[in-house]
Amino acid sequence: MAALYPYLKLLHIFATIMWVGGGAVIAVLTARMARRAPAATTAAYLGQVAFVGPIFFAPSALLTLVTGVMMVMGAGLSFGTPWVSAGFGGVLLSFLLGGTLLHAAAKRLTALADEGADPAGEPMTAARRRFVTVSTVNLLVLVGAVAAMVLKPA
Ligand code: HEM
């Protein structure tokens, strides 16, 4: 298992890059589309975002979790080590946010775009702001987990 450690770490970091980097790009593009694009374009775009969720984000998050757990077990680290707990906390909080508030905010944007709502109108503006707020919190949680893993403060 010790010989596998560097490869698990490499996989763990690749998975993290896809998860956090991909999430940041999707958040920026979604906010831009909702603000500027005609509703039909936004609706088509959000349909593609819904498609990449299960085939891109779910596997990246799962791979981060699985490789992290394998490294902790393989290296005989304690799951109570603060930076390891921060990793678990980050994964858990992001799953919770993703499954509840972020999902709801994306659904609301999709419903408005499907109805042909005016991008400059009040409902779309409110939905876009909510989506940006929840996405930002979610990304900050993940960036916090990266910082804890890299800096290992305790
Ligand atoms: C189940 C939760 C997690 C566990 C058990 C875990 C475990 C680990 C372990 C054992 C290492 C290797 C540390 C080293 O050899 O120096 C590591 C590195 C790393 N982890 Fe995690 N991790 C978890 C979640 C996360 C999350 C959620 C992220 C980011 C979103 C993340 C980002 C990183 C990064 C960037 C490194 C490289 C740090 C370095 O080499 O200094 N991890 N993780």
Using alpha carbons, select from 43, 33, 47 the residue that is nearest to residue 115: 43
Q: Is the separation of the CB atoms in 4 and 74 below 8 Å?
A: yes
Which long-range CB contacts under 8 A does 32-37 form with residues at least 24 apart?
Answer: 34/109, 34/113, 34/119, 34/124, 34/127, 34/128, 34/131, 35/119, 35/128, 36/119, 37/119
Q: Is the separation of the CB atoms in 145 and 65 below 8 Å?
A: no
Question: Measuring CA to CA, how many Å separate 84 from each of 15, 31, 60?
Answer: 17, 33, 18
Query: Average pLDDT of 88-115?
Result: 96
> In the 8-state DSSP scheme, what is residue 117?
-
Dist. CA 140 → ligand 1 center (Å): 16
Taking 80 as the threshold, does the pLDDT of residue 29 lie above it?
yes
Q: What is the pLDDT of residue 39?
A: 95
pLDDT digits (tens, 9 = 90+) for 45-66: 999 999 999 999 999 999 999 9
Model confidence at 1, pLDDT cuts 50, 70, 90, reads confident
Q: What is the pLDDT of residue 121?
A: 96
Q: Is the separation of the CB atoms in 128 and 29 below 8 Å?
A: no
Q: What is the pLDDT of residue 51?
A: 94
Ligand 1 pocket test: which of 7, 9, 84, 149 has the largest number of ligand atoms within 8 Å of its C-beta? 149
Taking 90 as the threshold, does the pLDDT of residue 2 lie above it?
no
Q: Answer whether 65 contacts ligand 1 (Cβ < 6 A).
A: yes
Using left for φ > 0, alpha for ψ between -120 and 50, and beta otherwise, residue 65 falls in: alpha
Ligand 1 pocket test: which of 8, 11, 12, 91 has the largest number of ligand atoms within 8 Å of its C-beta? 12
Q: What are the residue ranges spanned by the domains of the chain?
A: 5-151
Q: What is the pLDDT of residue 113?
A: 96
